[in-house]
Amino acid sequence: MRKLFSLLIVLLLMTVACQKNEISNPEKDIAQVGKLSVDKQVFMNRFRLSKGFAEAKKFSRDDVVKFIDEYFVKNYLLVNKLLDQGIEEEKEMKEAMEQLKIRAMTGMNGPLYRQVIPANVEVSDQEIQELYDKSKYKVKIAYLRVSSKHLADSLYSALRRGANFGKIARKYSLDVQTFEHGGEVPNYIFPGSLDPEFEKAIFGLKKGQLSRPIYIAGWYNIVKILDKKPIEHRPLSEIKAQLKQRLLQYKLNQIRNNYIDSLFIKYEASFNKELYPLIKKAFVPIDRVGKLDVSAIPKEKLDEPLVTYKGGQFTLNSFVTIYNKSMASRRVPLRYDDEIENHIKTMVIGNLMYADGVARGLLNDEQFKSLYQRIRMQKLEREALKRLVNEQIKITDDELKAYYEQHKREWNNQDFETVKRFVRNRLMGERAREYKDQLAAQLRSEYDVLYNEPLIKEVVDSLNAMKKAARVRKF
């Protein structure tokens, strides 16, 4: 009996060992590194963009494995180590991962839009004819865009009293593409290319006239007509496809905007306006927009919900963090209540869409899972390189100067202080590559690296077939 029990234990250990050295998903994973897998399609997408793919005439197994090792295995070994250190249990990282889930769910090519936006939106011949018939004029405009009705009304009054439009636009407009040019749009605008409310306001104006503030999607726009010319009509048959595309894009935008507006009602979003004074107090103007000084907000207030909706909440801390990390072109000043509320809405839209995606069962959607895992790995790879490699490397000024002396001809013998930043970046890059290679070699003893040989053979055959087909097309 004791021998039989010992034999069973040995068989069990052999089974576990075999399982440990098997690819989890052999149909789609080209390699496995510890608990992480390298998806065949992800590999193919990256490899086909590489210099090696462009230059080689034929590929072998070694070419594919070398690329897997260099661009996946080394990074994935570091990520395994980071995961074992518990990075995904950190509060800040959990919040970052939630934002990545929102991004995967709500992107323009994501699973939610696939459900919300109809695959086929019809544009009738009658609609095309109506657009053609009303396309009598084209206009050249200057416009300014602000995020507060109070400010828009004030600027409109100033312009009516004779203020210079260009100067006002340069000072106040938040449209990053036009404000430097006094709000002037370079090309003429044709009917059917903009929001109907916007077009209704501007095409009824004469040259030199000014529109009242036009509210569109969270922005207040004031338009000045710089020029207005009759359109030289071409036959409808020549421009029918162009007009149809304009109408189709407008309909798709309307469907999207109506869907987003409906979510605020569906999920009963409510705004905590008692926190708005704290946001105004923390706002520090910088150039055209600004930053939020988190130290100006009491700590106990940061975790309070700024927006509450069915299924979740959006805290003041989330608002401050996202605002400060956003590019300047995506921020607005936060001086008035309507400015603040409009900007909160733009931030919380993703949360509401994600809640709707969850309600629709899309957490189990294959596209969502694939998108999320891809951007999750990108985030973890960046974090692993930062923590396990870059932060471990220390470079002294003496080392920088010595490196500069060796290579100063490459910087045209410029003064050390002038090029110090570039010297540091280059030396850091070299040291980081060396350190990463050494660390990855050590981690191979901690984590299994498995190659899916049948799938690698399939990939090699596929790559060679692509090259052969390309040569045939060339000749």
pLDDT confidence bin for 69, thresholds 50/70/90: very high
CB 141 within 8 A of CB 224: yes
Tell me, yes or no, whether 317 lies in a domain. Answer: yes
Tell me, yes or no, whether 218 lies in a domain. Answer: yes
pLDDT digits (tens, 9 = 90+) for 256-268: 989 999 999 999 9
Q: Is the pLDDT of residue 17 over 80?
A: no
Whether residues 174 and 226 fall in one domain: yes
Q: Which of 56-70, 91-105, 229-243, 353-367 has the lowest mean pLDDT?
A: 229-243
CB neighbour class for 195 (10 Å; exposed up to 12, middle 13-18, buried from 19)? middle
For residues 2-23, give the mean pLDDT: 50
pTM higher than 0.85: no
Q: What is the Cα–Cα distance from 372 to 364, expressed in whole angstroms?
A: 11
Whether residues 220 and 153 fall in one domain: yes
Percentage of the chain exceeding pLDDT 90: 67
Q: Is the pLDDT of residue 473 over 80?
A: no
Q: Which residue has the tokens 């909706």?
A: 309
Whether residues 160 and 222 fall in one domain: yes
Cα dihedral 79, 83, 87, 93 sign:
positive
Tell me, yes or no, whether 158 lies in a domain. Answer: yes
The pLDDT value recorded for residue 13 is 41
Nearby residues of 198 by Cβ (< 8 Å), 6 or more positions away: 214, 216, 221
The number of distinct structural domains making up the chain is 2
Whether residues 203 and 142 fall in one domain: yes
Tell me, yes or no, whether 384 lies in a domain. Answer: no
For residues 449-460, give the mean pLDDT: 95
Whether residues 221 and 282 fall in one domain: no
Q: Is the pLDDT of residue 103 over 90?
A: yes
Q: Is the pLDDT of residue 393 over 80?
A: yes
* Among candidate residues 85, 107, 84, 88, the one with its CA nearest the CA of residue 96: 88
Q: Is the pLDDT of residue 12 over 50?
A: no
Among 45-49, 408-412, 440-444, the range of highest mean pLDDT: 440-444
Tell me, yes or no, whether 182 lies in a domain. Answer: yes
pLDDT digits (tens, 9 = 90+) for 193-251: 777 778 888 888 999 999 999 988 788 999 999 999 998 878 888 889 988 988 888 88
The pLDDT value recorded for residue 3 is 53
Tell me, yes or no, whether 5 lies in a domain. Answer: no
Domain edge (last residue) among 310, 341, 360: 360
Q: What is the Cα–Cα distance from 242 to 133, expressed in whole angstroms?
A: 14
Tell me, yes or no, whether 211 lies in a domain. Answer: yes
In terms of residue numbers, what domain contains 322?
270-360
CB 443 within 8 A of CB 432: no
Q: Is the pLDDT of residue 24 over 80?
A: yes
Phi/psi for 199 (5° steps) reads -65, -40
CATH code: domain of residue 223: 3.10.50.40
Tell me, yes or no, whether 298 lies in a domain. Answer: yes
Q: Which amino acid is at 317?
A: N
Q: What is the Cα–Cα distance from 435 to 443, expressed in whole angstroms?
A: 12
Distances (CA, A) of 441 to 105, 142, 382, 444: 36, 60, 19, 5
CB 459 within 8 A of CB 30: yes
Whether residues 225 and 281 fall in one domain: no
Domain edge (last residue) among 205, 232, 259: 232
pLDDT confidence bin for 441, thresholds 50/70/90: very high
Whether residues 278 and 191 fall in one domain: no
Domain edge (last residue) among 329, 360, 391: 360
Q: What is the Cα–Cα distance from 417 to 401, expressed in whole angstroms?
A: 10
CB 35 within 8 A of CB 80: yes
